[in-house]
Every structure is written in C-alpha cells, then in structure tokens.
Structure 1
Amino acid sequence: MPHNVILVVLDGLNYEVARHAMGHLQAYAGAGRAALYKLECELPSLSRPLYECILTGVAPIQSGIVHNHVSRLSNQRSVFHYARDAGLTTAAAAYHWISELYNRSPFVAARDRHTRDESLAIQHGHFYWVDHYPDSHLFADAESLRLQHAPNFLLVHPMNIDDAGHKHGLDSAPYRNSARSADIILADYLQGWLDAGYQVLVTADHGMNNDRSHNGLLAEEREVPLFVLGDAFSFNPDATPAQTQLCGTICELLGVPHDKPVCRELLK
C-alpha cells in the first residue's frame, strides 16, 4: 500500500544531542509510536554532499558532490525524480542548495525562492539562502506547502541547529537549545501529519564538533539520528539503517519504482 512521506532533515544535528534533547520525539518513542536509530553519515561529513546522499542513496565519492562548493545539478536520480515520474506530487521547504541539486542551478532567488512547476523534480518549493532563516518560519513554509498542494513527498529542511553549531560548537548551550527548539516546533505539526496519514522520518545530514565545524571522522561529526513515525514502520530495535538506504526506503513507502538500496527491517 502506498503511503505519503514527510522527510525532516535537521541540519547539523548530532545523535547524542538528539537523543537527550528531543523530548517530544522521545515521548513518541517511549509510547511505542516511534523508534530512534543511530546512523553513521557518509564521508565527507558536509552538507551538500550528504543532501545528495540522503535524497539519491549515492555516497559523495560516487556522486561527485564532494564538498559544499560543487554547485551544479545532480546527475543522479532522487526521491523527487522517482515520485514525479510515477505521477506523484513533490514539495520541499529547504535550503537553496536543494533547489540547485534537483531543480535549477545556479539558484536565482527572484526566480526560484517560490517554485511551482509540475515539470521540475521539486514541483512546489519554498527555498531560503541564509543559515539564520528561522526554523519557525521554515516549518510554517513546509506546512503551507502541505496544506496547499497535498504533496505525496515533502522535504522539510531547517538550518538553525547547524548555524548554532558553527557559531558556538557542539558542547554549548546554544547548540543544544537549538535542538530543543526544533523539537518544540515539530510538536506543533507532528501529530497533524500522522493524522493525515503521513509516514515521517526525522534525521540529519551530519553532526558537529567542538571546533564549530564538521568534515571528518569523529563520532560527533558522523553519528546522526533517525526517528521514524507512522504505521508503516516496524520499530524493529534490531534494524541497522544506513544513510544510503534512506532514498530507497522512502521510495518503498511511496510505492514508486526505484533501483536504490533499502533497509527493509525498518518497514512492516
């Protein structure tokens, strides 16, 4: 049975901080209505390469998106492409690099900030380009897209956790409080999404270190959370999902043809 899917990528969120700071998400897990898994992000642990990895299932060294300044359209097939080609509706409220990867590159704010074009991979979009763009506004952008267009696949991608990490580092109150804030904002939307029949995945591209950066092999840079919520998930505690399996797993939920790796243990 096909399902609609919302993917939330909380940019820069370290696993341990997610585990102890995301009280609302952990309440779902404690009630047996969600599960939390630890993922190890691919290398390099940088944003644009890992957006590509999450959304296409292809590691950076294979995709060629090997650092944040590789500014071009992806040459891989993403969740957005599979969904659109199957006749589904796609949407994203996200950082402008997502638009550059799957819609048009370079990003031109006046043209691309608000996107509505059925021919594009991301058919409906609200894109931002400053890292301090408020998470509260970004989630409202995403909910506006959901209510207006009823997308089958919706990407929600806020940046304030990563921004706090770059300004203050991993072991800092502002970084941890940004994670808590995102959890509180999610609390305004999550049950409504589930009631509307969406399967929800909440993850991160990479973590953060005490040097106020990321790119390497430290656990705090590579270990990220994956919360899954919805009646299509198994909540199997023995599942071992990989970041490269998220694209295929989402395609399985959507019921669209694809050729990507899947973590079947996540699904009923």
Structure 2
Amino acid sequence: MSNNRLIMIVVDALRFETACSHMGFMQHLVEQGKVARYEVKSEVPSLSRPLYETILTGTPPLVHGIVGNGVVRLSTQESLFHLARRSGKTTAAAAYYWVSELYNHAPFRHGVDRIQLAKDAPIENGLFYFEDHYPDSHLFAEAQWLVSEKNPDFLYIHPMNVDDDGHKFTANSVQYRNRVLATDALLALTLPKWMDLGYDIIVTADHGMTVDGNHGGNTTNDRHVPLFIASKKVKPIVQNQIVSQLQMAPLACHLLGIHPSEAMVPLLIPGLVD
C-alpha cells in the first residue's frame, strides 16, 4: 500500500530525448519493473517560472497569469503545497528561489529567505538557492537533510545545473549530455533510499532545451520532457502516448491521496492501477 507521501523532482531543462538516451539508472528502474516512463508535452511558453506554476497548480499560463520569467509575485492559484497543508500533510522544498517567490514570499529576500524552517506557509520547510550554477550535489544533500530531519509528506526538489549547462553550451553539447549523466548518478544515490522509506517518486522537467542553447518556443526540443513515476498506484511500463503537463498536479494529488483543486483538469493519465 502507498503511504501517500511523494517526492517530486523537477530537473530544469531536461529534454525527453536526452533523458531516454543518457539516464541509465532511470532506464534500469524501468527495465526492472520499478518505474513507469512517459513523454510529457509542456505548456507554452516553455519558460521556467510559468511552468513551475503549471506543474504545481495544474493550470496553464493564461489561467495562472505567470506568462513569463519576469512576472514576480505570489501565485493566485491553489498549489500542491496549499492543498497538502490543508489536508494535514507536511511540505518541504529544496529548490530555486523562484519557487519561494511563487508560494512563500515575493520578492525573494536573499538575507532572509535562503533557509525557511517551521514556517506557517505553503512550503513549511524550504532551502532555496539563487545561483543557476549552485551544485546539484549540494541540493540533493539538502533534500536528504529535509527527508531525514523534517520527514515531509510532500517534498519538491528542483536542480538547475542541466539548464545552466544547456544555456552555456546548448543541448547538442558534451557538457549538457554529461550533466544529464551526473543528474542520473545523483538520482541513483538517493532514489532507492527514498523509495525504501515509502515515498512515491515523480521525476520530470519543466521544459526542454534546444541546439541554440535556449527554450521558450513550440518545438519538440522546447516542450517534450520525461516523466518517470515510481508508485504502486502506476503500472511500471513505458507508455507511448504523449501526456499533457496539466496532468502533473492531479497526478501528484492522486499519489498524495488528497483532493485536487477545482481548477485542475481531470486525471486521465494512462497506466493508473485501479
């Protein structure tokens, strides 16, 4: 039985094609019948801040209003953090500071908001970084600290180094591909421990990355990202049909055992266990 606890990992700018070719550990979990794999089509514009909000609220940019990276304000929607707290669950995040600006405080106060513990806020315990090159290895260590010390029911993890290398070197670069390999290695060190603790796991991305070293448009490389799910509530097979990114929030609600918001679309993702 599921413990109705979830760790959601959003690897910034991890495009579907590279995830399939370079995430050997994740593919190993697929082949061993532990994880389901999907292809997700993101909303547009395929930019970070709008899609953080889409993933966490289940609403498109035209509804939630975060239509570009320059829109700096708190969310007006019911996020997974809000819904989890309302259901009596505990929340945490190890993430880029834009996530704090969406759900805890905007604008981000560098001297105050870096470490947020035991807060009466949607994200109860948050560790937020504000440099794109902040090491993913440090972020996963902080996520492990949150698991060990705070034992959250819902933990959101958001590493940035894949996006950073994509912008610096393009998606068609050794650096981008090697960074995806490094991310896969971090997942190999942490996911088995978290799965043993009874967590369901989602690994996905906000958007992809192009050979121009950018994103925001309507191409497959901009929009198509992976979705890996480790849960007894989902059949551990490769699904061939493309899934809307609007399914991510209601899927998370399903795994957490909480009611989705009225703004979320119905959960129609294939492969759910009855």
TM bucket (normalised to shorter chain) is over 0.9
Q: How does 1:112-261 map to 2 (within 5 A)?
A: 112-235=113-236, 237=239, 240-259=242-261, 260-261=264-265
Letter in 2 for 1:231: K
1:264–1:214 CA distance, 2 compared to 1 (3 A): closer
Distance (whole Å) between structure 1 residues aligned to residue 272 and residue 125 of structure 2: 28
Check conservation: 1:4, 1:153, Cα contact below 8 A: yes
Q: Deviations over 1:231-256 (max 9, x none)?
A: 22223536653211111111111111
**1:66 to 2:67 alignment:** yes
Task: Say whether the 8 Å CA contact 1:239–1:266 is kept in structure 2.
Answer: no
Residues 1:12 and 1:264: Cα distance change in structure 2 (over 3 Å) = closer
RMSD after superposition: 1.3
Moved over 6 A (4+): none
Residue 25, structure 1, aligned to residue 30, structure 2: no
TM-score, length-scaled by structure 2 = 0.95
Q: Which runs of 5+ in 1 are unaligned?
A: none
* Number of equivalenced pairs: 268
TM-superposed CA distance for 1:210, in Å, is 1.2
Gaps of 5+ in 2: none
Partner of 2:95: 94
CA separation in 1, counterparts of 2:242 and 2:90?
Answer: 30
Deviations 1:61-114 (Å, cap 9, x if unpaired)? 211100101000000000000000111000000000000000000011221111
Contact 1:5 1:153 in 2 (8 A): yes
Distance 1:41 1:103 in 2: 24
Question: Paired residue for 1:13?
Answer: 14
Question: What's the TM-score once normalised by structure 1's chain length?
Answer: 0.97
Q: Secondary structure at the match of 2:167?
A: helix
Distance 1:179 1:35 in 2: 19
User: For residues 255 and 2 of structure 1, do their structure 2 counterparts lie closer, same or farther at Cα, with a shift above 3 Å needed?
Assistant: farther
Residue 193 of structure 2: SS of its match in structure 1? helix
